Amino acid sequence: MTGFDFDIAGKVALVTGASSGLGVRFARLLAGQGARVALAARRLDRLQALAGEIGGGAFALDVTDVAAVRQTVADIGSKLGPIAILVNNAGVSRAARTEDVTEADYDAVMATNLKGPFFMAQAVAGQMIASGIAGRIVNIASVAGLRPIGQLATYSMSKAALVMMTKAMARDWGRHGIGVHALCPGYIETEINHDWIASPAGEKLRAIQPRRRFGRPEDLDAALLLLCAGAPGGFLNGTVLAADDGFAVM
C-alpha cells in the first residue's frame, strides 16, 4: 500500500453484507491488514467458506431484524472480542420508475439500507463506548446518495439518508473517540452486476464515466483503509468520501 501505518492489526472488524460483492473484498482487505474479521450476512454457507480462507468468524444475520443485530454484536464481542471497526456494507436496490415503486419494494430498500445500518451502528457504538474503544464506523453509501440515479429513487433516497446519518453519528459519538464516515462508491464492477455492465445499457453508462471505465473493487482499498484506521485517519470524523472517478460532480 503506502508507508502509512494503518494500525488495524489485531483489531476486531465486522463487515456486513460479507457474502458477496464488495463485502467480500472489504473482508479480505481488512484481514490482509491483520484484523480479525467477523463476517455477517444471510448466506451462512458463503460466510463459512470465506472465514475458512481469511479466519475470523461467520455470523448469519438479517440486518433488518433489530433483535438479531443486537444479539450478533454481543456474540461477536464474546467470541472474538469487542468490535473496533464496523463496515456497514449490507444493502439492496430495486430498480423501477418512481411512479411504479411499490410499498413492498420501498420498505425492503429502506429497511436494509437505512434501518439496518442505523441499529447496527448503534449496537456497535454502544459496545465501543462500554469497552472504551476509539473505534471506526464506515457506512457504505453510494454516489447515488450524492446525486439521483434514474430508476433508483428509493435507493438514492436511502443512501442520501445514510450520508446524513453518518454526520449525525459523527457529531454524537465523536466525544467517545469514535470516528464515523461514509464511503460513497461510484459504479464498481462485481460479480453481482457483471452481466448488466456487459449489456448495451451498461456500455452506454460506461461511455459517460469520466475515465470511460467502471471501477474495480480494489479501487476502494485505500479509501476504506484510511477511514478504518486509527492513524493516519485520527482527525477525520463525519467524512463523506466519494470514490467515483468524479461522477457525482458531472
**Cell numbers of 39, please?**
463476517
- pLDDT the model gives residue 74: 98
Mean of per-residue pLDDT scores for the chain: 94
Count Cβ atoms below 10 Å from residue 122 Cβ, excluding itself.
17
Which run of H or of E encompasses 60?
Answer: strand 57-60
> Percent of the chain, pLDDT > 70?
96
Q: For the segment 155-204, what is each residue's pLDDT rounded down to a tens digit?
A: 999 999 999 999 999 999 999 999 999 999 999 998 777 787 888 888 88
- pLDDT the model gives residue 1: 42
The mean per-residue pLDDT over the stretch 142-162 comes to 95
> Percent of the chain, pLDDT > 90?
82
pLDDT reading at 3 higher than 70: no
pLDDT reading at 80 higher than 50: yes
Q: Which amino acid is at 167?
A: K
Which run of H or of E encompasses 16?
Answer: strand 12-16
Q: Which of 59, 119, 155, 247 is catalytic?
A: 155
pTM, two decimals, is 0.94
- pLDDT the model gives residue 2: 47
- Residue ranges of domains in the chain, CATH in brackets: 12-242 (3.40.50.720)
CB under 8 Å, gap of 24 or more: what pairs does 37-46 form? 37/12, 37/13, 38/12, 38/13, 38/14, 38/76, 38/80, 38/83, 39/15, 40/14, 40/15, 40/16, 40/72, 40/90, 41/16, 41/17, 41/90, 43/19, 46/19, 46/20
Determine whether 187 is an active site residue. no
pLDDT reading at 222 higher than 80: yes
The mean per-residue pLDDT over the stretch 71-93 comes to 97
